[in-house]
Structure 1
C-alpha cells in the first residue's frame, strides 16, 4: 500500500463533493450569501493549515469508515445540514466518480493532473475569499513538493492502492448509466479508443530488430480499436491546461439534469455483503485512523458560535421520503433534526466524538428549514 495515497484520495473526493454541492446550490436558486458561506466554510475547514499538515504525512490509506466520517464532518462544517441517507448518497456519488477517473487514467502520472483539475475547480468556487484562497495555494505547493519528482513506478503503486480501495464499490450512478459508461450491475465500461499513454505509440506496427538493435523489417496491420497519439504533457500550474479533462465537473456536461445514485441491483449484493464483513480494526488501527479526524474536529466551531440560520440539504424528492430517513421533533415551535449516525460505526471512541459534535438544525425565525436538493431520482 502506498503511503502517499491519502492526500490524493482526500483532495479528489473533496473536489467531487464541492462539485455536487455547488451545482445543486445554484440549481435550487439558494441566496448567494448562504451559498457563498457554505462553500467558503467547507473549503476553509477542508484545507485548514494544521489539518493539511497532518494529511500530507506519510501514512497508509485509512479505512472506508474513517474517510466517510471525515467527509461527514466536512459537509456539516457550515450552516448546511444533511441527514444520514442524504450523506450516504452524496458520498456514493463522490467515490464512484473518482473511481471512474482513476480507471480512465491513460498513465499513472495523470493522477496528479486529475488532482490539479479538482484543485482548480475548488479554487474557482472561493475566488472571492483571500483567506481560503491562500489555503488552496498552500495545498498546491505541498502537492508539487510531494508528487512532482515521483517516478512512474511510484505513481503506478499509488494507483493500485486507490483501485484496491474502490474495488468492491459498484454503485449505480444515473449519469453513467445514461451515457453507457456503466452497466446496470454497476460495473464501468472502459473505452477502447482515445489517446494512448505518454511514451507509447498507436497500435498498428510490428517491427523486427536484429541482434545489434538495427531495424530489420516493419509491417503495418489494421487495429480494430480507434486509438490516437498521446496527448501533450499538461501544465503543473494552477489555472492552466493539465492535459486531461478528468477531474473537472461532470455536472457541467449534463447541464441541469439530475445525477443520482440508484438503488443497488441483485448483482451487486455480493459486493455489499463482502464490504459488511470487513474485519473490525484493532485498537492501534483505530487510534491511527482517528488522528486525521481528531485534527479536523479540533478546528470545528463551538456549538454556541454556529450561525442561527441553518438549512438542510435533502437528497430526496418529497417530505415523506425525508421523514422516513431522519427523526424530527418540535421544540418551542421549531423543528429540531437529530442526525443519527450511531449505527454506522461500532467503534466507541469515534462514536463519542461524532455524538459530541452533532448539531441541532433550528431556525430563529420559526420557519421550516429550506429543502434544497432534489438530486436523487429513484427506480423501483
Structure 2
C-alpha cells in the first residue's frame, strides 16, 4: 500500500464533487419549475464554490493531508467529503450525498483506467486543479491557496520513482475494485457495461518511451539474440509525451483526463442507476461525535451546533424530484430490503434513552464516526475542517 495515495484521491474526488455541485447549482438556477427558479443566484453559487474550494486547499488542511499516511476507507473518506460539501451554506441529505459520492468515485475510477502509465495520474490531478482555479478566478485569496497547493503537489510527487507510481496505482485499483455503480453518462457512451464494469479497449497508443508489444525475442546463454517471432498486438506507438490538459486517445474516442464532463451534459444525465453500492452504517455514533467535538475544541474552538442550525442553509438535491429523493432515502440498498431485522430490548432506562436521543439529535454526520486504517488522522482532518 502506497503512503502517498490519499492526497491524490482527495484532490481528484474533491474536484469531481465541485464539478457536480457546480452543474447542479446551475441547473436549479435555470430550471423551468417556478418553485425552484431563482433559489440559487449567481452570487450564491460563487459563494458555495469559493467556500468549498477555500476549505479544500487551505494551508492547514493541505499540511495535514500531504503527510505520508495510509489511504482511508470509503466510509471515512465520505465523512471527510461530506464535511467539505457542508463547508458553505449548502446542505445535502444522506441520500443525495451517497449518490454524489458514487458519481465522484466512478468518474475518477474511469480516469484512472484511461491512464497509459501510472505517472499520468498526476495529469488527472493537474487538470482538476486547473479547472478548479477557473471557478475562483475572482477570489484572489482562494486562488493563491490553490496555486500554492498545486506547487506543493508537484514538489512532492514529481521526484517519485516509477515504482512508487506503480504502487500508487495498485493502491487505487484495490480501493476501486468493489465499486461497480452504473452511471447514465457512461452507459450512454457505451464505456460502461450493464453490470457496472467499464469496457476498455485493447487498442490505442502505448505510453511514451515504451515499445509496442508484439515481438518475442529468444536469447542464448551469452545474451545474444538467436531468433525472433512477431505477433499482432493491436497497439500503436505514442507520438509524444502526454502533458497536462492534452487529449488522451481511447479507441475511436477522445477524452480529456480530469476535465469537467458535466458541463456539457443535461442534469438528468449525471445520475447513478440503482444497483450494488457501498453499504454504510448511517446509525448515529454519539461517542464518535463527542470525540470529534473535543478534538475541534482543542485545535481552535468550535461551537457544537444543533441539527436545526445545520439545516438552516440552502439545500441542494441530486435527484430529479423530491419524491424520488425521499424514496431513495427510505428504501435503502436492495440487500437491506430483502431481510427483516427484529430488535429486542430486554431492559429500558428512560433517562439513558432520553440522553442518547438528545446526543443523536445533535449528530449531523450522516456517515457516522470515521473508521479506517488511520482513524486518528481522519479525526484530525475532520476537526481541522470544522475550525476552518
Q: TM-score, normalised by structure 2?
A: 0.71
Structure-to-structure mapping, 1:95-114, within 5 angstroms: 95-114=105-124
User: Unaligned stretches of 5+ in structure 1?
Assistant: 278-282, 328-337, 359-380
State the distance in 1 between where 2:101 and 2:301 align.
22
Matched, 1:317 2:320: yes
Secondary structure, aligned partner of 1:17: helix
Structure 1 residue 198: deviation in Å? 2.3
Which of residues 236, 260, 282 is equivalent to 1:228? Answer: 236
Task: Report the Cα offset of residue 211 of structure 1.
Answer: 7.0
The structure 1 residue matched to 2:260, chosen from 249, 268, 288, is: 249
> Which portions of structure 1, spanning 4 or more consecutive aligned residues, are displaced by more than 4 angstroms?
204-221, 240-244, 297-304, 306-309, 323-327, 338-343, 346-351
Match of 2:27 in 1: 27
What is the CA distance between 1:230 and its match in structure 2? 1.9
Work out which of the residue numbers 142, 166, 169 in structure 2 matches 1:156.
166
Corresponding residue for residue 260 of structure 1: 271
Output the CA distance in 2 between the equivalents of 1:257 and 1:43: 25
CA deviation after TM superposition for structure 1 residue 71, in Å? 0.5
Distance 1:8 1:122 in 2: 15
Contact 2:24/2:267 (8 A) holds in 1? no
Deviation at 1:222, TM superposition (A): 3.8
Task: Note the C-alpha offset of 1:203.
Answer: 3.6
Q: Which string of whole-angstrom CA distances, capped at 9 and with x for unpartnered residues, describes residues 134-180 of structure 1?
A: 11111111111110111110000011111111111111111111111
Q: Is residue 150 of structure 2 the alignment partner of residue 140 of structure 1?
A: yes
- Mapped contact 1:326–1:340 kept (Cα < 8 A): no
Kindly state the Cα deviation for residue 322 of structure 1 after the two structures are TM-superposed.
3.5
How big is each residue's C-alpha offset from its partner over 1:105-127, in whole Å with a ceiling of 9 and x where there is no partner? 21000011111011111111111
Q: How does 1:177-192 map to 2 (within 5 A)?
A: 177-192=187-202
1:247 shift after superposition: 0.9
Relative contact order, higher structure (CA 8 A, sep 6+): 2
User: Where do 1:231-380 residues align within 5 Å?
Assistant: 231-235=239-243, 241=246, 245-252=256-263, 254=265, 258-264=269-275, 268=276, 310-324=313-327, 344-345=367-368
The answer as to whether partners of 2:305 and 2:362 remain within 8 angstroms in 1 is: no
After superposition, what is the alpha-carbon deviation per residue over 1:191-215, rounded to whole angstroms, capped at 9, x for unaligned?
1122212222234455566777677
Which consecutive unaligned segments of at least 5 residues does structure 2 have?
31-39, 249-254, 282-286, 331-360
